[in-house]
Structures are given as C-alpha cells and as structure tokens.
Structure 1
Amino acid sequence: MINRRIIEIQNEIEFILLDLLEGVRLSGKPNTEVLSSFYSLLDELKKVIQGEEYIPRKLTGVLFHIYTMFSAASEHAMYNEMIFIETARLETYLDEIFWESPWK
C-alpha cells in the first residue's frame, strides 16, 4: 500500500504546477517563491519514499513533465542562467527520488 503522504505531496505539486511552469514556459525564469515550495515538497518526498517499493505512476508523470519543461527551456540558456542551474538541481532531486544508489 502506498503511503498516504505521497499522494498528498503529489496533490500539492499538482496544485502549484501551473504557477511553477508559467515562468519557465514564458520567459525561462521560474518563480522563485513557487520553486522554493516545490523543492520543499521534493525534500519531504525524498524522506517519505524511503523504503517504499513503488512510486505512483501519476506522481512520476508529473515530475517527468516538470523536468521536461525545465529541460526544454534550458536548452537555449547559458550555463549561468537560472533555468539551466535549476534544471541541473531538479535532475539531482529526481535521481534521489527515483533511484536509491548503492554508492551513497
């Protein structure tokens, strides 16, 4: 059975999704306040999924969608631009969420 908090975090991410991606799509600059909330949710998610066998497909899809939007926006960015840096940061988060590395 999937931890109820995982579903709650998923719902919270879905709630801020449009605000999170609006700046990314329009200007390549995510809203820093919303981004901070998003990373707080991901920090909690990393803790909550410890020991879980499965992550809900819908949550995985939402996180993948966010990553692809960031990645697409960063393709034309310079290495020091916010979107490029945040895409790399998001990659690290997703790596920690989706894979429990044996080399930690």
Structure 2
Amino acid sequence: MLREERVAALTFDANKDALDLELVGALPAAFSGATRAQLLLDAAGFLVGVDVGAEPLRTVAMLGRHEDVNRTVDVTVQIVAGRVRISDAARLVRAREANPYLPR
C-alpha cells in the first residue's frame, strides 16, 4: 500500500546544492542513507513530490496534487534525520525559486 506524507517545508542550501524536504509526518524508520526515488515534476520543472523507496515501505512526499505531475526523474536521495535530501537540486528542479505548491 502506498503511503503519502505532506511536505511541510523546503530548504535549499545553495552552497551544497541540496534541497531538503521536511515532512509533516515521518518516513518509515527503515529509510536511512541513500535511497532510490523518483522526483515528481510539473510541466515548468517545479517539484510536486518525491516517490521514495519500494514496496512495502514506498512513500510519496507531496507538495502538490498528483494531477500536477507532468514527468518523473529517477534519482538517489539521501534520508537524513527523517528529511529527504535531493543533491544536485538546481539542475534537477527549480530549487532556487519559490515553490508554487508550498503555502506561504
């Protein structure tokens, strides 16, 4: 069964070129370190969500609606202290701009 968690905040560290996703809920405790994932992007390249892991622990961390997803990108993310970290973020998503799916 697919778990879904909402993203509470995004933090972009330009020096590390890393985008951290803080979730409202928690990822399964088994997630730690490098994990395969898919970035869920809209037509403009903004991050809509991240599909992390494989069954039975697969979890989707969403900022927007599933209907907003236009394409996916396979990546390896880092799970650090319960946060999802996307490296090389500026190349993969529009990390330097305000994400339109996060409430302000």
- TM-score category, normalised to shorter length: under 0.3
- Structure with larger RCO (C-alpha < 8 A, sep 6+): 2
Give 1 or 2 for the bigger CA radius of gyration.
1
Structure with more of its chain in strand, by fraction = 2
- Higher helix proportion: 1
TM-score of the aligned structures, taking structure 2 as reference length = 0.26
